[in-house]
Amino acid sequence: MKLINVYFLIFTFLYAPFSIRAGEEQRKADSLYRTGAFYEASVEYERCYYFADSPVLRCQAILGKANCLKQLGEYGKAAARLAQAPLQGLEDTLAFQLQYQMAFCQYLAADFQTANGLLADLRLRYVQPELLVQTEFLQFLLWNELRQYDSAELTAVRYVKLRYTDPFHANGILRILEQHYDQQNLPHLKNANSAVWMSRIVPGLGQTWLGHPGEGAVNFVLNAASLGLGIFGVVSGYPITGYFLGTGFLQKFYFGGINRTKYLSQKVNYQRAKRFNDKSRAMILNL
Amino acid sequence: MLTVTSLFSAQSLAQDTALHRRLDFIHYLIGREEYKDAIFLLEKEIKEPLQRSHPLSDSIYHLMGWSAYMQKDLTNSSLWFEKVSLQSTSYLKCRLFATYNSIYLGDTLHARELLQGLRPDTGWQTELVAFEKGGLNLLSRDLAAYRRIAASFTHTFYPLVQEERRFDQIATLLEQNKPKSMTLAAMMSAVLPGSGKVYAGKTGEGVSSFLIVTVLGLITWENYRQDGLSDYKTILAGTALGFYYVGNIWGSAFAAQRQNKRYNYEINQRILFDLHIPLRTIFN
């Protein structure tokens, strides 16, 4: 009897940890996350997911892993992992958090269209005011990135009304918003096609219109010089030399200028939109 | 005494169970194609100063080799695959993948050594090893040795049927192939600029070279006619023409060499592909 008791104690002592392992694994992952060991924590959260015996624990592990991946800058991977979460039977708050994080990771991964689609779906499913505040915030950031400034302003207004119940405070913020989204303050984006057509008609004009007059002037002079070289060659009795050298240089500078205009138009629009979006983001974060 | 023995055996059992649990998780990671994470955990296992049974150690080496292989880290993959012991059930798989890795990395000598050390015990294993040896012979262009090995192919083992047929086609192609001559390409371009490149299979480059030499020739001729041989414009255009003409001859010779290298590279890629597919089909 005594021997049986000893065996019992040995096996109880050795196997007891297995029964409480799930909690231990979760604690280990949390502790690694807190110390900034995000990669190690992400592996441990995946272990929690694998050994978890309930959908809630699995989803919590996925959220933990996604947070680690966000810290590591792997936003696309975080979104992909969140997309695999088993949502059936989950309470609304947790399901919302998973889907919201997925949209947020897509936003961080600069896949704004996908993030917008996910958010639209989320806004249809969850209408509780405390959850809507969160979606309005992300929606505001997304509309700005998608250059839909009218929608961004409307979303910001809704966000402020949901978040601030004090009308005096809310009205003050709404006035700031109105001023920020005034037509004059919005980024003036250039039409890439117009710029290209300008450069086709007068070499260098497109670059000048996009705010690079020096570059435009150099391009114009180079095109004119190439044309002049060709004409001069033909007129002074060197038709072959004039034709081939003139057309050779002209072709390079003319089409090179057009390609450069295309590139500049994208760059200029990106910079202008980014400057405005950075300002908008800073503004809403400081509210 | 009995209690102490029981304590040790129970402790060892618990350790093995814990390791099995950890390996289960690593298998899961590999299934999810999270090879980086699997390698991270396997490295931790290897560093652990534990007494492990042979099968467990072999499992760790096998998983390490496989994860490294899937991460395209073929050098490390070979190192781990080769550590798997003869007693392991995955020994043949590990050796053949180590062989493939060595072939891919260009170490055909080591690949041959690995194949020589194999003792296949069933018909399909013998044919698979012969197939790998045949591929090696094709890669080293030893066609006579390939034909000798190919004579033993049964052409009935399903995962190898198509690849064996393709190997035969490649051998025939190699037998019939006539490499492009660098000298001939250079001579052709000396007579008619660009024709050497067309011979080497670079038709576009050949036509373009012909047009450029012609234009430069016309410009030189025009300046010569107008201002004579000693005028700087004639000298400038003539120098450009000379450089381009000689450069084109040189380029044609190398175009022929490049074409031969490209042909060999493409054939080698096809052989490597055909060597690889049966391994993945049989051992997946």
Nearest beta carbon to residue B223 from set A11, A51, A241? A241
Q: Strand, helix or coil at A212? A: coil
Q: Is A240 on the interface with B (CB under 8 A)?
A: yes
Closest chain B residue to A48, measured at CA:
B25
Query: pLDDT tens string for chain B (284 positions)?
Result: 445 555 455 556 566 778 888 999 999 999 999 999 999 999 998 887 766 677 888 999 999 999 999 999 999 999 999 999 988 988 999 999 999 999 999 999 999 999 988 888 888 899 999 999 999 999 999 999 999 999 989 888 889 999 999 999 999 999 999 999 999 999 999 999 999 999 999 999 999 999 999 999 999 999 999 989 899 999 999 999 999 999 999 999 999 999 999 999 999 999 999 999 999 999 87
Question: Are the Cβ atoms of B219 and A240 closer than 8 angstroms?
Answer: yes
Closest chain B residue to the Cα of A42, Cα to Cα: B37
A14/B14 Cβ within 8 A:
yes
CA distances from B102 to B66, B71, B73, B137, B277 (A): 14, 16, 12, 14, 16
Cβ-Cβ contacts under 8 Å, A251 against chain B: none
ipTM score above 0.95: no
Q: Measured between CA atoms, how close is B201 to chain A, in angstroms? A: 27
Min distance A14 CA to chain B CA atoms (Å): 7
Stretch A41-50: mean pLDDT, rounded?
95
Token digits for B160?
A: 């190898």
> Is residue A8 scored above 60 in pLDDT?
no
CA atoms within 13 A on the CB side of B108: 13
Q: May I ask the CATH architecture of the domain B18-117?
A: Alpha Horseshoe (1.25)
Looking at residue A283, its pLDDT comes to 83
Spatial separation of the C-alpha atoms in residues A266 and A274, rounded to whole Å: 12
Looking at the complex, does the CB of residue B236 fall below 8 Å from at least one CB of chain A? no
pLDDT digits (tens, 9 = 90+) for A63-117: 999 999 999 999 999 999 999 998 888 888 899 999 999 999 999 999 999 999 9
SS (H, E, C) B72-104: CCHHHHHHHHCCCCCCCCCHHHHHHHHHHHHHH
Show residues of chain A in contact with B6, CB under 8 Å: 7, 10
The partner residue sitting opposite A11, judged by closest CB among B10, B24, B215, is B10
Smallest Cα distance from A22 to chain B, Å? 13
CB B246 within 8 A of CB B216: no
Mean pLDDT taken over chain A: 88
Best residue of A12, A68, A240, A249 to probe chain B, by most B CBs closer than 10 Å: A240
Distance from CA of B218 to the nearest CA of A (A): 7
Distance from the A108 Cα atom to the nearest Cα atom in chain B, whole angstroms: 22
Per-residue pLDDT, B246: 96
Phi and psi at residue A38, in whole multiples of 5°? -70, -35
d(CA B72, CA B88): 24
Contact at CB, B222 and A241, closer than 8 angstroms: yes
B128 CA to centre of own chain: 19
B219–A244 CB contact, under 8 Å: yes
Collect all residues of chain B within an 8 Å Cβ-Cβ radius of residue A11: 10
Q: B36 CB contacts (<8 Å, ≥6 apart)?
A: B71
From chain B residues 9-38, the ones with a CB under 8 A of any chain A CB are 10-11, 14, 24-25, 28-29, 34, 37
Q: What is the pLDDT of residue B96?
A: 95
What confidence category does residue A250 fall into, taking pLDDT thresholds of 50, 70 and 90? very high
pLDDT at A17 over 60: no
Name residue, tokens 């995946």.
A46
On whether the CB atoms of residues A102 and A118 are closer than 8 A, the answer is yes
The CA distance from B50 to the nearest CA of chain A, in Å, is 17
Query: Do the beta carbons of residue B137 and residue B145 sit within 8 Å?
Result: yes
The two tokens of residue B152 are: 């033993």
Distance CA B161, CA B154 (A): 8
For chain B, give every domain's residue range.
18-117, 120-177, 182-269
Residues from chain B contacting residue A6 (CB–CB below 8 Å): 3
Q: Chain B partners of A42 at a C-beta cutoff of 8 Å?
A: 37
